[in-house]
Amino acid sequence: MSVQLQIEATRGAARAGKLITPHGEVETPVFMPVGTVGSVKGISQDALEELGVEILLGNTYHLYLRPGMETVRKMGGLHRFMSWDRAILTDSGGFQVFSLNELRKVSEEGAAFRSHLDGSAHFLSPEKSMEIQIGLGADIIMAFDECTEYPADGARMRSSMEMTLRWAERCKRYFEAHKQEVPWGSRQPSAISRQEERVVGGRWSVASAGGADRGPLTTDQSSTQALFGIVQGGMDRELRRESAERTVEIGFPGYAIGGLSVGEPRELTREVVLSTLEHLPAEKPRYLMGVGTPEEIAQYAQAGVDMMDCVLPTRAARHGLLFTSEGKVSIKQARYAQDEGPLDPACECRVCARYSRAYLRHLYAANELLAQVLNTVHNLHYYLATMRTVRAWIRAGS
Find the shortest distance in angstroms from Cβ 47 to Zn ion: 13
Using CB under 5 A, which of 72, 347, 363, 387 touches Zn ion?
A: 347
Using CB under 5 A, which of 60, 378, 387, 394 touches Zn ion?
A: 378
Choose between 30 and 331: whose C-beta lies nearer to Zn ion: 331
> From CA 54, how far away is CA 48, in angstroms rounded?
9
Choose between 142 and 351: whose C-beta lies nearer to Zn ion: 351
Q: Does 80 bind Zn ion (CB under 5 A)?
A: no
Q: Does 349 bind Zn ion (CB under 5 A)?
A: yes
Q: Which region, judged by CB under 5 A, interacts with Zn ion, from 40-48, 125-133, 217-225, 376-384?
A: 376-384
Look up residue 3 and give its DSSP letter. -
Q: Which region, judged by CB under 5 A, interacts with Zn ion, from 201-209, 276-284, 330-338, 339-347?
A: 339-347
Q: Does 316 bind Zn ion (CB under 5 A)?
A: no
CA angle 388, 390, 392 (to 5 degrees): 70
Q: Which region, judged by CB under 5 A, interacts with Zn ion, from 55-63, 158-166, 372-380, 384-392?
A: 372-380
Choose between 205 and 330: whose C-beta lies nearer to Zn ion: 330
CA angle 217, 24, 92 (to 5 degrees): 100
Q: Does 380 bind Zn ion (CB under 5 A)?
A: no
202 Cα distance to chain centroid: 30
Q: Which residues contact 294 (CB under 8 A, 6 or more apart)?
A: 323, 382, 383, 386
> From CA 197, how far away is CA 215, in angstroms rounded?
13
Find the shortest distance in angstroms from Cβ 379 to Zn ion: 8
Find the shortest distance in angstroms from Cβ 339 to Zn ion: 15
CA end-to-end span of the chain, whole Å?
A: 28
Q: Does 307 bind Zn ion (CB under 5 A)?
A: no
Select which of 91, 139, 145, 344 is catalytic: 91
Amino acid, single-letter form, for residue 159:
S
Find the shortest distance in angstroms from Cβ 305 to Zn ion: 25
- Closest-CA residue to 191 (of 273, 81, 305): 81
Quote the longest CA-to-CA distance of the chain: 62
- Closest-CA residue to 238 (of 275, 263, 270, 266): 275
Q: Does 19 bind Zn ion (CB under 5 A)?
A: no
Select which of 139, 145, 309, 344 is catalytic: 309
Q: Which residues contact 371 (CB under 8 A, 6 or more apart)?
A: 320, 360, 363, 364
Q: Does 55 bind Zn ion (CB under 5 A)?
A: no
Q: Does 51 bind Zn ion (CB under 5 A)?
A: no
Q: Does 352 bind Zn ion (CB under 5 A)?
A: yes
Find the shortest distance in angstroms from Cβ 374 to Zn ion: 9
Dihedral Cα 225, 47, 63, 180, nearest 10 deg: -20
The answer to whether residue 46 is catalytic is: no
Alpha carbon distances (Å) from 15 to 270, 343, 346 = 18, 32, 26
Choose between 130 and 385: whose C-beta lies nearer to Zn ion: 385
CA angle 66, 71, 73 (to 5 degrees): 120
Choose between 97 and 363: whose C-beta lies nearer to Zn ion: 363
Choose between 280 and 349: whose C-beta lies nearer to Zn ion: 349
CA angle 75, 79, 80 (to 5 degrees): 40
Q: Which region, judged by CB under 5 A, interacts with Zn ion, from 78-86, 179-187, 264-272, 373-381?
A: 373-381
The answer to whether residue 309 is catalytic is: yes
Count of residues interacting with Zn ion (CB under 5 A): 5
Choose between 111 and 322: whose C-beta lies nearer to Zn ion: 322
Burial of 299 from C-beta contacts in 10 A (0-12 / 13-18 / 19+): middle
Q: What are the residues binding Zn ion (CB under 5 A)?
A: 347, 349, 351-352, 378
Give me the active site residues, please: 91, 309
